[in-house]
């Protein structure tokens, strides 16, 4: 991944515990919450891409 994506993913990992707790979540800005939500989506998409690549390789 690019340096920018790596930085956002690291930020998301640091913020994720606060996003899970509703009381702590109120302390985060909407941008911080968005970073965590986007990082979660990137992780899900990467998992799907890896699975599709593995499936495609098996069909070859």
What is the reported pLDDT for 1?
Answer: 57
Query: pLDDT tens digits for 15-51?
Result: 888 888 888 888 889 998 898 888 889 888 989 999 9
Burial of residue 36 (CB within 10 Å: 0-12, 13-18, 19+) is buried
Answer whether 0.75 is exceeded by the pTM: no
Number of neighbouring beta carbons within 10 Å of residue 23: 7
Domain residue limits at 9: 3-59
Instruction: Count the domains in the chain.
Output: 1
13: pLDDT confidence band, cut at 50, 70 and 90? confident
């Amino acid at each position: 991944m690019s340096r920018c994506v790596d930085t956002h993913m690291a930020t998301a990992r640091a913020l994720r515990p606060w996003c899970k707790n509703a009381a702590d979540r109120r302390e985060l800005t909407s941008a911080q919450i968005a970073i965590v939500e986007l990082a979660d989506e990137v992780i899900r998409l990467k998992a799907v891409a890896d699975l599709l690549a593995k499936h495609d390789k098996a069909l070859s």
